[in-house]
Amino acid sequence: MTTPLSLINRRHFLRAAGACVALPFLGRAAEKLPPKRLVAIHVPLGMMPQFFFPKAGETSSPYLDLLAAHRGQFSVFSGLSHPGVDGNHHAGQCFLTGAPHPGQPTFRNSLSLDQLAAEQIGLENRFPSLSLTVKNGDHYADSLAVSRAGVGIPAEASPRRLYRSLFVAGTPAEKAATLRRIEAGGSVLDLVLDKAVRFEKSVAPEDRARLDQYFQSVRELEGRLQRSIAWENRPKPRVDSPEPKDIADANEVIAKSALMFDLIRLALQTDSTRVVTLSLSTFSVVPHVPGVKNETHGLTHHGNEPEKIAELRHIEEAQMTAFARLLQLLAETKETGGSLLDRTQVLYGSCLGNANSHSNQNLPVILAGGGFKHGKHLAFDQTNNTPLANLFVSMLQRLGIETDKFASSTGPLRGLEA
């Protein structure tokens, strides 16, 4: 059986294209302004509104005071949510997509903010985006990142594995083995693509669309194989920080967050990626924080009992303090024309406005960095919320992506200026 001519030509074209895959010139970063980046962090169990939100007309609150050192570098928002996104914890997988009714049996997710950004600004990097988490095995979305197909992108929970993929080169033998694997993978893809072409003849017209997805998937995997050949032959950046050890204890969620923040800074600094998402789940975790003895999700259903609220507050304050450290890391990393924080938009928020009542309205949201005019509390209507996706439109525009719409947005966010 001979390979159809069309396939031979396509394969050769891809090979040739692979050799020319545009990879960023190593010295480019020094020649002009550093690239713009995006980091989106999700706190699935929310933050108690009475301590997070500033009172009307103010910009500080008990939690925001923990970020006092960076007051001029972030803005806080109230009165934002995704219209139609309900379903309490299910909304976690919609935090960056805005797809409505996640709890319903007919729910289909959609492309997330970070993946759109990655498509547009991430293709020059070894990793168009990084999807990270401190904890796998959640029932409601470990990962914020969702592909165009509406499929959640699995998140990496191991700092060690992440470090190795970013900074540790394989030995020549490993490289050779990888290239062989890629070649073998390519042969398999050739075969199944050909099978699909034949298979198509027996498929009813109404079913063609499903088979088309299969075709597209095979083609995209082929493209990725070609790009990975190119990257396999590129050296990885060198960093001073040593390889981290994974923390085994699931309750050390604050330490795990800190470890991930360190790696995010390194990844951005070395331009290994420009788009990162991170999920900071505390489900089924008794965080190792002084004064905390109970599991977090149970505490968030405090039923207004003062002892539970006090205990939960310890956890949430520890999380805010850890986030302050991320801002510190980014602010102190100098680049041409400013700091890493100036060039990186950091979104920090939750899909739950009130974990006790499972409300998905009035979400706690902070945006830091990215060169916006910060230091503000942008307060929107608490009864008729403004779409959170409006903030996403502003963020995309700031990344240099020409768009005026994302998911359920009605335009860019009023009052947020660059």
Interface residues with other proteins (CB under 8 A) are 1, 83-84, 86, 88, 101, 104-108, 139, 147-154, 180, 183-185, 187-188, 191-192, 194-196, 199, 202-207, 210-211, 213-214, 216-218, 220-221, 224, 248-250, 284, 294-295, 297-298, 301, 303-305, 354, 356-359
Write down the least CB distance from residue 148 to other proteins, Å.
Answer: 8
Question: Looking at beta carbons only, is 225 or 324 nearer to other proteins?
Answer: 225
Question: Looking at beta carbons only, is 28 or 195 nearer to other proteins?
Answer: 195
Write down the least CB distance from residue 396 to other proteins, Å.
Answer: 23
Question: Looking at beta carbons only, is 162 or 327 nearer to other proteins?
Answer: 162
Question: Looking at beta carbons only, is 215 or 270 nearer to other proteins?
Answer: 215
Write down the least CB distance from residue 326 to other proteins, Å.
Answer: 27
Alpha-carbon span 182 to 124, nearest angstrom: 20
3-state secondary structure 219-266: HHHHHHHHHHHHHHCCCCCCCCCCCCCCCCCCCCHHHHHHHHHHHHHH
Do residues 54 and 71 make contact, with C-beta atoms less than 8 angstroms apart? no
Write down the least CB distance from residue 369 to other proteins, Å.
Answer: 30
Alpha-carbon span 227 to 381, nearest angstrom: 47
Alpha-carbon span 195 to 290, nearest angstrom: 60
**β-pair type (365-369, 37-42):** unpaired
**β-pair type (344-349, 386-387):** unpaired
Q: Report helix, strand and coil shares of the chain as percent, to nearest 5.
A: 45, 10, 45
Question: Looking at beta carbons only, is 68 or 204 nearer to other proteins?
Answer: 204
Write down the least CB distance from residue 85 to other proteins, Å.
Answer: 10
Q: Which residues pair with 379 in a beta bridge?
A: 78
Question: Looking at beta carbons only, is 168 or 188 nearer to other proteins?
Answer: 188
Write down the least CB distance from residue 202 to other proteins, Å.
Answer: 4
306 contacts: CB under 8 Å, gap ≥ 6 = none
